Structure 1
Amino acid sequence: MLIRIDPASPAPLFEQVAASVRRAIADGGVAPGDRLPGARDLAASLDLNVHTVLRGYQLLREEGLIELRRGRGAVVVADGGRRGRLQEVVRALVVEARRLGVSTDELVTLVTKEMG
């Protein structure tokens, strides 16, 4: 699995790590049960602080995409693909809404109307 970051991007590095893993899950590049690279190894390969990688992994755990277990590392969970893709779309929607000056209440109303 290839994880990429862009140091010139305004997005925080931990979010870039998480986004790269989300894409890999959504695209099927990483399957349920697959182990992600160890935080220390990934940090070394990306020239990042290990805590930056761990923060990205923690974000993915909170989203229900991976499990973190001592001694076993980070493992993709079974339903991660759909959630990962949906999370990417939601993040893009929120970024665009902010860019357009749409308030949280307006965005929630729009989404609720579409879900109708």
Structure 2
Amino acid sequence: MLSVDPASPVPPYEQLRGQVVAAVEAGELAPGERLPPVRRLAADLGVAPGTVARTYKELEADGVVETRGRGGTVVAARSGAESEAVEAAAAYAERVRRLGLDGERAVALVRAALGTT
């Protein structure tokens, strides 16, 4: 599933990061699914273990994966983008309550902003 193009101008860790994010967003990697261990994936792809480790570290910082020590690296319950959206929605809901708007009007405003009215 994952591959590295040595001729690409994109660094290998970034190629891997993009592929994992795309697989998570497409549902090809489900929450809780374990990723290959760093050394094994590095050997399979012919890259240095540090390259895979950096990929996993950046994915973890983005909230895409979680590292569970001996349990390995697994796909997080939510992607980083989804986590940010949940936080934004909670902040919006709190703001709407303070402004005294009802839920139906708040949802209508979001639909209008998204262009899905």
Deviation for aligned residue 1:82: 5.2
Give the TM-score normalised by structure 1. Answer: 0.67
Distance 2:47 2:68 in 1: 22
1:1-47 deviations in Å (ceiling 9; x for gaps) = x1121111111111111111111101111000100111111000000
Ranked by relative contact order (alpha carbons within 8 Å, sequence separation 6 or more), the top structure is 1
- Written as runs of structure 1 = structure 2, the 5 A alignment for 1:68-79 is 68-79=67-78
Distance in 1 of aligned mates of 2:3 and 2:25: 15
- For 2:35 and 2:67, the matched residues in 1 are separated by 10
Identical pairs, percent: 42
2:6 aligns with: 7
Unmatched segments (≥5 aa) in structure 1: 84-113
SS of residue matched to 1:67? strand
**Structure 1 letter corresponding to 2:76:** V
Aligned residue number for residue 91 of structure 1: none
Q: Give the AA of the match of 1:48.
A: V
Tell me the secondary structure at the aligned position of residue 70 of structure 2.
coil
Q: Write the distance in 2 (CA, Å) between the matches of 1:77 and 1:56.
A: 15
- Provide structure 2 residue ranges, at least 5 long, that are not aligned to the other structure: 83-112
Number of residue-to-residue matches in the alignment: 85
Match of 2:21, SS state, is helix
**Where has structure 1 moved over 2 Å in runs of 4 or more?**
none
Distance in 1, Cα, partners of 2:57 & 2:81? 19
Q: Larger radius of gyration, structure 1 or 2?
A: 2
Q: 1:23 to 1:81 in 2, by over 3 A?
A: farther
Aligned partner of 2:36 in structure 1 is: 37
The 1:81/1:31 distance shift into structure 2, 3 A limit, reads: farther
RMSD: 2.1
